[in-house]
Structure 1
Amino acid sequence: MKSRTVAIIPARGGSKRIPRKNIRDFGGKPMIAWSIQAALESGIFDEVIVSTDDPEIAQVAREHGAQVPFLRPPEISGDQVGLNPVLKHALNWLEMDGGGCPSLLGCIYATAPFLRASDLRTAFERLNEKPEAEYVLSVCTFPSPVQRAMTTNEAGEIRFMWPELRLTPSQALQECFHDAGQFVIGRAASFLQQESALSGHCLPFVLPRYRCQDIDTPEDWEQARHLFYALQSTSAS
Structure 2
Amino acid sequence: MNVAIIPARGGSKRIPRKNIKPFAGRPMIAHSIVAARESGLFERIIVSTDDEEIAQVSRDYGAEVPFMRPAELADDFAGTDAVLLHALTWLKERGELPDAFCCIYATAPFVRSEFLRQGLEALYREEATTAFSVTSFAYSIFRALRTTTNGRLEMIWPENRDRRSQDLGEAYHDAGQFYWADTQKYLGEQKLFSRDAVPVFIPRYLVQDIDTPEDWETAERMYRALFS
TM range (shorter): over 0.9
Counterpart mapping for 1:14-163 below 5 A:
14-96=11-93, 98-131=94-127, 133-163=128-158
Gaps in structure 1 of 5+ consecutive residues: none
Give the ranges of 4+ consecutive aligned residues of structure 1 lying more than 4 Å apart after TM superposition: none
- Sequence identity percentage: 52
What is the deviation of 1:164? 1.4
Secondary structure, counterpart of 2:179 in structure 1:
strand
Change (3 A) 1:195 1:162: farther
TM-score (norm 1): 0.93
Contact 1:38 1:117 survives alignment (8 Å): yes
Letter in 1 for 2:122: R
Give the corresponding residue for 1:10: 7
What is the CA–CA distance in structure 2 between the aligned matches of 1:195 and 1:151, rounded to whole Å?
A: 34
The RMSD of aligned alpha carbons is 1.1
What is the deviation of 1:123? 1.4
Letter in 2 for 1:171: Q
Q: Deviations over 1:66-89 (max 9, x none)?
A: 000000001111111111000000
What is the CA–CA distance in structure 1 between the aligned matches of 2:185 and 2:214, rounded to whole Å?
A: 35
Q: Deviations over 1:152-198 (max 9, x none)?
A: 10011122111111211112102110000000101112332224232
Secondary structure, counterpart of 2:31 in structure 1:
helix
TM-score (norm 2): 0.97
Letter in 2 for 1:17: R
Q: Which deviates further from its counterpart, 223-232 or 15-24? A: 223-232
Contact 2:140 2:168 survives alignment (8 Å): yes
